[in-house]
Amino acid sequence: MVLAAGISGCTNRNGLALARQACSHVDRSLAIYHSAERSPGSAGAAGEQAQALAQLRSALPITASAAGEATQWQALMTTLSESARVPESDLVHALEAQCAVPNGNGVAARPSPTTTSERLASADGSVRLIRPLGGGAQG
């Protein structure tokens, strides 16, 4: 039993280290994304948006490994996988909240859900479906 607890602790540390590595890509992506947001329509904005997306895509395989090590990172992996289907603007709040913990910022306050991705991925690492805005049916 002690050996199992020791292995579990090791696995969680490996997952945390991988999540931190993935979140460094997420942080770079968000910085580039916010820079592009400040100059919409400029010649460089489209290139910055592509760079930001490339950083998110770089984080995905690392996050998949982190989720394999510790299931608490599955929500982050889910949010990153949504980057193939939805614009980064819809993922910003969820990514900031999910990377707050591995970045050492403690437990982030949960933003109000405004997109499917935010409804699916919560800051504490669990995946939940909550009622969409406007009183729609729970999914």
pLDDT of amino acid 129 = 41
pLDDT, position 60: 96
- Between CA 25 and CA 33 the distance in angstroms is 12
The beta strands (E) that lie in the chain are given as none
Chain centroid offset of residue 75 CA: 7
Section 75-99 average pLDDT: 94
pLDDT above 70: residue 96:
yes
pLDDT at 105: 57
pLDDT tens digits for 21-35?
999 999 999 999 999
> pLDDT tens across 100-119, in order?
977 765 443 333 333 444 44
27's CB contacts (< 8 A; 6+ apart) are 99, 103
Please choose, from the candidates 132, 138, 26, the residue with its C-alpha nearest in 3D space to the C-alpha of residue 73.
26
